[in-house]
Amino acid sequence: MKGAKQTTLREQVAMSGIGVHSGQPVTLTLNPGDDDTGIIFQRVSADGAVEREIRADVRAVTATEFATVLGDAKGPLCSTAEHLLAALRGLYVDNVVVEIDGPEVPIMDGSAAAFVDALDQAGLTTRALPRRYIEVLKPVRVAKDKSFGELRPYAHGFRVEAEIEFDHPLIGKQALGLDIEPKTFRDEIARARTFGFMKDVAKLWGAGYALGASFENTLVVSDDRVLNPEGLRFSDEFVRHKILDAVGDLALAGLPLIAAYKTVRGGHKLNNAVLSALMADTSAWRIVEATEMPARRRGQAQTAGVVAPAYGPDVS
């Protein structure tokens, strides 16, 4: 699996949808990014003028209650960034500028599939600069009650393992672990939708959330069945979406991870807490440059290419 060089978009691509919380229309435009700039979010006015700009980074997270919200000292810039971030990280897009004219990334169908389609439409191009990674050197764990999240060393790239448990006959306990690379992300993760329970709808609306939620963008579960006419896309779609969210939340490391992440009964808040704990412990990680992404494990573990130290945490 090649992953030696940085990538960005070949051309601009735009898409429109509604915000799941505001219910308002939003237009989002993905633009090619300059070398070594990472993922940039720009809030633009109706005439296209850039009003604010932030880099997608764990330090830019301002809230994690119902979605991952990015902002700065001036306040939130955009909410519900995790599905777009998951698509970018899952397809190995390093540098991109995201223009958005509303307060949240459009929810589309509740998964990352529409963002994958947009990236395919734009096409990707390889740049001359080597790709940099954050390599996790020792386990970093955050636990609360029965939930925990842990990043640990993993020599074969980026892996996410998720376990969920709901007292519901259609969900129950589900667990899945996958090495995240473009084909796996496309086939196994991108189409898994965000989900919610019908009994919680009134509470969310009363709190000003999920005003744009519908059967078109949310997997809705009643006491005994899935209410969406198409049903489930995967028998374990619920845990697959948790993996999707984790990929997006961990994209806020700023660089792709060489690590395995395990989340048990977690969500955005836990994902953010683990990533923040990792970044705070400068002995737990280093930045490396790779001539080729470490090989996915097949039978006996092997590592392809060279992973060489580039920079220490103090200059990240």
Determine the residue type at 42.
Q
Alpha carbon dihedral 275, 281, 283, 285, in 10-degree steps, equals: 20
Beta-bridge partners for 148: 143, 264
Q: Exactly one of 83, 156, 241, 268 is catalytic; name it.
A: 268
Q: Report the C-alpha gap between 245 and 251 in whole angstroms.
A: 10
149 token code pair: 């999240």
Nearest to 59 by CA among 68, 71, 51: 71
Q: Is residue 160 within 8 Å of residue 251, measured between CB atoms?
A: no
Contacts of 186 (CB under 8 A, 6+ apart): 90, 91, 116
Nearest to 51 by CA among 32, 33, 31, 75: 75
Determine the residue type at 262.
K
Determine whether 268 is an active site residue.
yes
Instruction: Give the residue numbers marked as catalytic.
Output: 268
